[in-house]
Structure 1
């Protein structure tokens, strides 16, 4: 099962890029962020022509999230967080697909910091943490995926000293990310690329993509019931180099159908038969 997350930065303006990538990468399930399209303007027909079921939570001009599946029906369980600090913003969608509960979201940017936008980011993150805790208590296989707008460590940002005042690198935001991990979630991309420099976003300015001056802000967190099924986690970095593309690249994970079988430990010589 191949699950992807992609901040498209405008689903209609970059539809050609999205469709080209879907045909090339053939992900089974995709969560999209920053649709920047109202509910009635999502390009449903074009997506369905590629064989995907789709649900979306649109918003005019800003935000917006969607989920696509080509491996079965999408059973929506929630749109919007419980006790969302601002329900008018379309940032969260959750559904069961092929036996896995998937939450796709677009966490607030939070700049400028300090200020009301940063306060909103922290409040939204707090509600996500509380909801994630509730989800984990079910024991079901689950994925949290999307644009978290946080670089967890210095290794996740080009020249971290330049980002000390930014909301994406604020100590409170990084601490919130690790509070999520401490619940029992696994950072899929980092677990595969433990010591590597790997980014998911490159700004349009200052030739950032060509210089590989990027950020890792798009993440997959796996529940304990899924962590053992992780086969691979990668970034389709080349998509960022296409014409009229998003400033994010698609990120994907591959999950095995079942956890690997654990080998039985051989008995030691002093164990009785």
Structure 2
């Protein structure tokens, strides 16, 4: 489990996350939702020990920040909101970087990968529908293709936990649906999946659990159907919203008389 107790993140002299407390379980897809500036990205980065914080963040009862970096990289795959490639490498080479925590000699990408590496990379490319683009330079990809390539890099590492910051944001509708289904499948296989989402309908239809943040505080935590109520959406996002459709295929309508 990942457990947070009284977790507070300060940035620019103010608390962007305040006294957050929750326990995340493997085998679940948890969506972190909230309006802009609610603290979602800061909370996710703190759970990956990428931002300093006060309070506790534990992985399997161990302080996450105290876990050696390589061991932590094997356990937690983190996808930032704006992932960048330092060099213009091929898609396959980018995805192979996800295997570095498992290699005995990090950084030696010119050496032949072990069978486990090749299998993991091929599976990640297939999952993100990038096998046909494996030899293309990353600079030649569209924004959505690039986002899928960085997601494939995370998947190739086969981490116990996937922490992804708005992975659906730059994708077209079809690939949003496929990636959301892929992440849900990763959770069904026993991984913990934590995803920052702005699309409340996607959270309702794909997540097992939702954490709602508002001005740095957790104001909702539970199953999507009982947490993402019209009343809470109105209070936090300050819009009038109505759920339409059946469970698993719900959509939001906005405005008077929707």
With normalisation by structure 2, the TM-score equals: 0.33
- Whichever structure has more helix as a proportion of its residues is 2
Give TM-score, length-normalised by structure 1: 0.31
Higher relative contact order (CA 8 A, sep 6+): 2
